[in-house]
Structure 1
């Protein structure tokens, strides 16, 4: 790992707000950080359709496999120096840590990509970093090594979680970290979407995860959870680019009311509609799922037409369109997505919601500007204030600082 430099060596860079984005995808995280006031100077991705999308929207991109990219390339392309970037952000591919299916952790080669993210932090030494992922990363197990083959002198062979390794590596680099699971709906996003967020500070600053801004119950409607209606109702009869459902699936879907799923089908129809999934375990909530206009959307997935993760329009017998998908993820209407229709859905479904990203950016800026805390000499009404504090931690009750 690189040499840890002292605060004084970086102080000349403290006025810049430049961001290097890794694993950028369709740039949902980047758009949100820009809305917060940061300057994303370069993005990076391996996926050709994502790279074309970034370029179509006028962004500077380094295309390629991060395992083959040297950090100096990013600095050279931006004119930045070691220690100068305000922040590096990114979400290493999350499939190995998903809570669905087999959880291979770092047995899966893609699980090692977080080490390349750490490699970039180690060399470039940004003031802050933001790493996001699926919540399953918090409990994803390390590669299992049989007891008889373990070497106690090698800590990587001890049982633990992927998160343990990540935190240990950042600790070696001298970064203070805070992490937790945030639900995007608590930050003005019209969607339930839980994401793991890890924020790091090179200079031991008082970092924190963003405080929720929206709530299921609030006396001011402006601060209540946002509904699907609030973002896509005007597109009801303007489906634009849209995937299609088979006639067979549409036949059953037409029987499902707004906000319902397969459980709302007639009892004698359910076994036919569900097929082999009828006797399988799990909640199966995504089968024949029709969204409700008056609730936040379920988590937007990479395809709205898969049988187990259907995202049907609240009133129309079709899946959500590409534009509706983008609205729920809070992309600007003028954002250009490139590639096939399937590629566009995948890019949008994999993105960080813009509102959540903006909240993260504002939290980091508040730390940098030392504007996050109101200092008081006395703290009155302790019980009352503790109840308020508990209430605002609805979306982040797993905060931890290292």
Structure 2
């Protein structure tokens, strides 16, 4: 296996190294922008999807590698596993938050905390520290990343804020972080993600909303007239008739409080249980359940994205929505993506365009930091 890994890492210089690449959410966005990306991922199922999508696909553990293994990359990106931080998970990350914040501060002071991190109750909790380790190692090697882009569930925002202070005070970056709502960026789904953008020598901002915020009971055409209406499930899926999606689980575990969204609303957050959700017409007659490709489209993957391997629903639920990643990467580079361009790349067949950049006029963005 190691020889295969070495062969995979002996690749031409790339623009982006993605530390927790999953099935390719951020990788898809980078390709749309004309950026070359190398993604680290340890789940063999996600790697099967990556292989089918034309992305690098040998399973890696980011803890075994560092910046020297992907020379030339000038953008560091990552969305560490969220299960221990998310409300739906075990909560180990939330319980360990103070300890994780302490590790961030100590790493910023030059301490090595590897052994202590390994003693955390859930190994996935410590993975949130890996982007900082890579950034520190690159800085020590006098070849720092010019941009750092990180995303996670909103419960991780305190960690991103602590990392931002280290990146600014110790490594010379200018950093910004906050929580973005996916429907405000053209994703037909309500989902909140904590985002960090850090840049060497240039101040960047989080991407501004392009679409209106979804509010229950408020129509699509209401709200700020300067913003696009949020995209609905019906518009994204083209199912041909009105429908409702009923969640598989209830709020707080109460089955009587199962969430319901109509076709003319954005989807609720797509999770690994999306295929269990019921779909009915407006008279409660059962309809075909959501297909995996439909679930992927609600995450803004191209409709023909070649999902492969096992646990595909979990792969989809764990992924960062490519359109959100598109807006975040562009903001980190000093660009704004129009809703029209974002919709254009989502609607284009992935298998026909995966080796080219549909947003051809943005290929030059790599020159911004040359």
TM-score, normalization by structure 2: 0.67
Q: Secondary structure at the match of 1:195?
A: strand
Residue 136 (1) aligns with residue 104 (2): no
Give the gaps of 5 or more residues in structure 2: 1-12, 97-119, 139-143, 214-221, 337-370
Asked which structure has the greater CA Rg, the reply is: 1
RMSD: 3.1
Check conservation: 1:19, 1:38, Cα contact below 8 A. no
Shift in alpha-carbon separation, 1:40–1:311, aligned structure 2, 3 A: farther
Asked if residue 258 in structure 1 is aligned to residue 244 in structure 2, the reply is yes
Q: Which residue is equivalent to 2:87?
A: 99
Q: Name the CA distance, whole Å, in 2 between partners of 1:218 and 1:285.
A: 32
Instruction: Assess, with a 3 A threshold, how the Cα gap between structure 1 residues 222 and 334 changes in structure 2: closer, same or farther.
Output: farther
The correspondence of residues 152-301 of structure 1 with structure 2, limited to 5 A, is 162-163=159-160, 165-171=162-168, 172-203=170-201, 205-216=202-213, 217=222, 223-234=228-239, 258=244, 282=252, 284=254, 288-301=258-271
Which residue number corresponds to residue 311 of structure 1?
Answer: 277
In structure 1, the residue corresponding to 2:261 is in which secondary structure? coil
Structure 2 CA distance for partners of 1:219 and 1:168, relative to 1, 3 Å: closer
Which segment drifts farther, 39-48 or 102-111?
102-111
In 1: Cα distance, 2:247 partner to 2:313 partner = 21
Give, in angstroms, the shift of residue 362 of structure 1.
Answer: 1.8
Q: Number of residue pairs matched? A: 280
Name the SS of the counterpart of 1:196 in structure 2.
Answer: strand
The equivalent residue for 1:26 is 23
Change in CA separation of 1:137 and 1:322 when aligned onto 2, cut-off 3 Å: same
TM-score by length of 1: 0.62
Note closer, same or farther for the CA distance 1:167–1:219 as it changes in structure 2 (3 Å cut): closer
**More displaced, 188-197 or 123-132?**
123-132
* Unaligned segments of structure 1, at least 5 residues: 1-15, 140-161, 238-256, 263-273, 369-402
Distance 1:223 1:327, change over 3 A: same
Structure-2 residue corresponding to 1:120? 134
Match of 1:363 among 328, 331, 352: 331
Residue 167 of structure 1 deviates from its aligned partner by 3.1
Tell me the secondary structure at the aligned position of residue 185 of structure 1.
helix
Q: Are residues 261 and 126 of structure 1, via their aligned partners in 2, closer, same or farther at CA, if it must alter by over 3 Å?
A: closer
Instruction: Work out the CA distance in 1 between the residues paired with 2:37 and 2:89.
Output: 37
| 2:156 aligned counterpart, secondary structure | helix
Superimposed CA distance per residue, residues 153-210 of structure 1 (whole angstroms, 9 cap, x where no aligned partner): xxxxxxxxx445433432322222100010100001100010000111122x111000
What displacement does 1:296 show?
0.4
**What secondary structure is seen at the aligned counterpart in 2 of 1:291?**
strand
Q: Does 1:43 align with 2:31?
A: no
